[in-house]
Amino acid sequence: MTGAAEVGIAARARGRFQRWVDRRIPPARAVTLNQRRIFIFPNKAGLFFILCLLVMLLAAINFQNNLSYGLTFLLFTLFIIAILHTYANLSGLTIRAVHATPAFPGQQTEFELQLERSRRRDHIGLRLQWPGSAPVTASIVDEGALRLQLHLPTGRTRGWYYPGRLQVESSYPLGLLRCWSWIDLDLPALVYPQPLASPDLPGLSAETPDGAAVAVEGSDDFYGFRDYRQGDSLRQIYWKGLARGQNLQVKHYAAYADHSVWLDWEMFPGLGVEQRLSHLCYWALRFDAQGDEYGLRLPDITLPPDCGERHREEVLRALALHGKPGAQR
């Protein structure tokens, strides 16, 4: 059998097993472990323990020694009890998805989970791990719930990032058996576009620059003095200056111009979709850092000008999900 054929057989076997697991443990926001979702098998220490029991049993049979029989069956009974207790340590445990922190491509994102104990027992020595993440160990003793944070690097493409099935396992109490489950918590993390700087952003020129003062009738913001013109209100005349021998002047009031910036899809003609989104992401972050108001125009969505953390998250979310399925998730 060639190596390619072996690889093909292994891939088909993994595919069948994955489909079987998907049917047995479907995706959900919260999963309670029960008999259908828990697997148990002896680990290396457990297999060695079983081998020792077989050797002891053969010795007892060969020498017809009642003490050897008694010790062998006592240890075998202990192993059976360990199976029940190891299974019970996971049974009834509820794992609930709480929140996944958005991130930029390749960055570490945080997945927050909540573990809830069953009514009848504690859960000790739990080990949780996503593929590619560092394991986290936890125990729930005399507590209703426990919050955990797992960190995992995101993918390189924008949109929803699915970390895969979470592995929950335990070897408590004797370490002879491995009891585990693979659960799909349906907890994707949002990956923003990779910010890409551009030398300039077209379409930002305006007749009145940001922060320029313009006269506004009835405004209460004092701007300065100017020479008196016929028709000016007597209440705005600067009488103190006139008393000191200065020219007749009036108080001038103004308001500060505050024009908003629009980040438009058409600002970068000739570029691909991902490049446009990366440039728009860069400028959105830049305007947000400066505290400026900015809006976003995409072919499928328009966000009016605003500022602040909530507006930044809405803009980045729109950029991340542009053209992606599940944008309303």
Q: How many residues are there in the chain?
A: 329
- Number of folded domains that form the chain: 3
Helices in the chain by DSSP H: which ranges? 3-24, 44-63, 66-90, 239-243, 273-290, 309-320
Q: Are 142 and 120 in contact (CB under 8 A)?
A: no
Q: Exposed, middle or buried: residue 134 (CB in 10 Å: 0-12, 13-18, 19+)?
A: exposed
Q: Are 208 and 257 in contact (CB under 8 A)?
A: yes
Pick from 202, 223, 256: which residue ends a domain?
Answer: 256
Residues 252 and 152 in one domain: no
Is residue 329 domain-resident?
A: no
Within 10 angstroms of residue 31's Cβ, the number of other Cβ atoms is: 22
Q: Before 173, cis peptide (omega within 30)?
A: yes
Q: What is the pLDDT of residue 205?
A: 36
Q: What is the pLDDT of residue 202?
A: 59
Residues 116 and 241 in one domain: no
Pick from 200, 233, 256: which residue ends a domain?
Answer: 256
Q: What is the pLDDT of residue 211?
A: 38
Q: What is the pLDDT of residue 292?
A: 84
Is residue 147 domain-resident?
A: yes
Is residue 32 domain-resident?
A: yes
Q: What is the pLDDT of residue 209?
A: 41
Residues 183 and 37 in one domain: yes
Q: What is the pLDDT of residue 269?
A: 80
Q: What is the pLDDT of residue 213?
A: 36
Is residue 327 domain-resident?
A: no
Rg (alpha carbons) of the chain, rounded to whole number: 34
Q: Before 135, cis peptide (omega within 30)?
A: no
Averaged pLDDT in 10-residue chunks for the chain of 329 residues: 68 80 85 91 94 93 89 94 93 92 91 88 90 87 85 89 91 92 91 86 47 41 62 67 71 54 84 90 90 88 89 94 71
- Structure token digits, residue 54: 């077989």
Beta strands 261-264 and 294-298: pairing type?
A: parallel
Provide the 8-state DSSP code for 216: -
Residues 276 and 242 in one domain: no
- Whole domain around residue 315: which residue ranges? 261-320
Residues 248 and 266 in one domain: no
Residues 249 and 183 in one domain: no
Residues 30 and 86 in one domain: yes
Q: Which amino acid is at 11?
A: A
